Amino acid sequence: MLEGVNYALYCLGLAFVFGIMRIINMAHGEFLVLGGYIAYWLLVKWGINPLLSLPLAAALAGGVSFLNYRIFLQRIRTTAELNTLILTFGIGIFLSNLYLQLWSADIRNIGVDWMENPLRLGGIYVSLGEIATFAVSLAGVLILHSFLRRTKMGKAIRITAIDRDAAALAGINVERVDLLAFGIGGLLAGLGGPLLGMLSFVSPGTGIAITIKAFILTVLAGVGSIRGLIVAGMILGVGEAMTVTFFSSSYRELFGFVLFLVILLVRPSGLFGKRI
């Protein structure tokens, strides 16, 4: 259940960008892994607490995402949807192989002693690390939620998501909204990276798996529903845990995919989405 909320954070960036710009960022997982690597190296080289390196990881991944949009995506934003998919896919390949070249294929776990300490919570034991990551994830989701509801910029983003042309007519700079949204998407991914590194590991191959998982969750939740993401994250978390318990840990990834196919067949708008 706790892991479910982390899942929600992992895929928040992708769901956010898809919801607003109708662009699937295939490099999403790679931005997340970048955040993970940053926290890892800060810890290994200078012993910096991974929770403290969160802002830096988020800022850097957000920056890379921002540049990516500025240099490449902006130029083909208006062409076929297929192009943005292939472009971000290419960026993803570039990044994951760059990581491979720079930091080898080794898996990196961000391990700190205090995180292993167990805490008793009404009958079950939870490690401090799990609680910390849970808190960060929840905070991330809530901050995004209130940013979208309360601030002027957030409102502009929501309006753009509903109707681009109307937003542009009303004087909203939709180009800037896109740029901002893509930056925020990267920021959220960068925030998730260190958490993933703490709970399991990051490696150059992790990114694409995260992208797939994030897309599955987005579909499961229904496009544009943050509340749905948390519920979908929990369903996936619990389902995977049960697959591991009843079958085998090697079929863990299978659960999400089968669930995904069933959702596509039965209710393509997702659990909380509007009917398409």
The 10 Å CB-count burial string (b at 16+, else e) for 242-274 is ebeeeeeeeeeeebbeebbeebeeeeeebbbbe
Asked whether 5 and 234 are in contact (CB, 8 A), the reply is yes
Which tokens in the block code for residue 267?
């209710």
Picking from 224, 231, 192, 185, the residue whose alpha carbon sits closest to that of residue 210 is 192
> Which of 72, 147, 201, 272 touches another protein by CB under 8 A?
72
Residue 67 is a binding residue for another protein (CB under 8 A) = no
How many residues bind another protein (CB under 8 A)? The answer is 49
Residue tagged 């943005």 (tokens): 84
Residues 188-247 that bind another protein (CB under 8 A): 208-209, 211-212, 215-216, 219
Q: Quick one: 102 or 124, whose CB is closer to another protein?
A: 102
**Under 8 Å between Cβ of 65 and 187:** yes
Q: Does 76 bind another protein (CB under 8 A)?
A: yes
Mapping DSSP onto H, E and C, the string for 176-243 reads HHHHHHHHHHHHHHHHHHHHHHHHCCECCCHHHHHHHHHHHHHHHHCCCCHHHHHHHHHHHHHHHHHH
For tokens 């607490």, name the residue: 49
Q: Select the span of 1-9, 70-78, 168-176, 227-235 touching another protein (CB under 8 A).
A: 70-78
Give residues 247-266 in contact with another protein (rule: CB under 8 A): 248, 250-251, 253-254, 257, 260-261, 264-265
Draw the binding track, 14-53, toward another protein (x: CB under 8 A; -: no contact). ----x---x-x-x---------------------------
Binding span for another protein by CB under 8 A among 39-47, 79-87, 143-151, 190-198: 79-87
Residues in contact with another protein by the rule CB under 8 A = 18, 22, 24, 26, 72, 75-76, 79-83, 85-87, 89-95, 97-102, 104-105, 208-209, 211-212, 215-216, 219, 248, 250-251, 253-254, 257, 260-261, 264-265, 268, 276
